[in-house]
Amino acid sequence: GKFIRINFDVNGYIVGANIETYLLEKSRAIRQAKDERSFHVFYYMLSGAGDKLRSELCLEDYSKYRFLSNGNVTIPGQQDKDMFTETMDAFQIMSIPEEERIGLLKVVSAVLQLGNMTFKKERHSDQASMPDDT
């Protein structure tokens, strides 16, 4: 993946940008080593969303998500709630409308929800189905 850092001056004008290439560990979404986190945005959202937004996004506790199998793993010196606020502020600085910000958060929430889906293989078939309680 690529990480693009946009630099702004005090008036909010773009004064430069940096592009960094990095490895996006997709497998980290479904499986983490002991004491490792999944993608940071999951933790930011679960820590930083207020009650109204949590309700709108159908968010639950960390323990309810299979993609967060290690629970609420913290990073020393970093507050996920503050990082959520910083992320939302960055969206606003970039003039991303409120409706689109909520839409992005709904997608992130949906990824967490999809991680809780289970499938079972049908006997004598290449198909899979979902158990009734999924």
Residue 128 DSSP SS3? strand
CA dist 67 and 55 (Å) reads 20
What domains, with CATH codes, occur in the chain? 33-129 (1.10.10.820)
Output the pLDDT for position 119.
Answer: 79
Which tens digit of pLDDT belongs to each residue from 64-99? 998 887 767 788 888 999 999 999 999 999 899 999
Which tens digit of pLDDT belongs to each residue from 20-67? 887 666 666 666 667 778 888 999 999 999 999 999 999 999 889 988
Strand runs (DSSP E) across 79-123, as ranges? 120-121
- Burial label for 42, CB within 10 Å (0-12, 13-18, 19+), is buried
Output the pLDDT for position 50.
Answer: 96
CA distances from 130 to 53, 117, 121 (A): 29, 8, 9
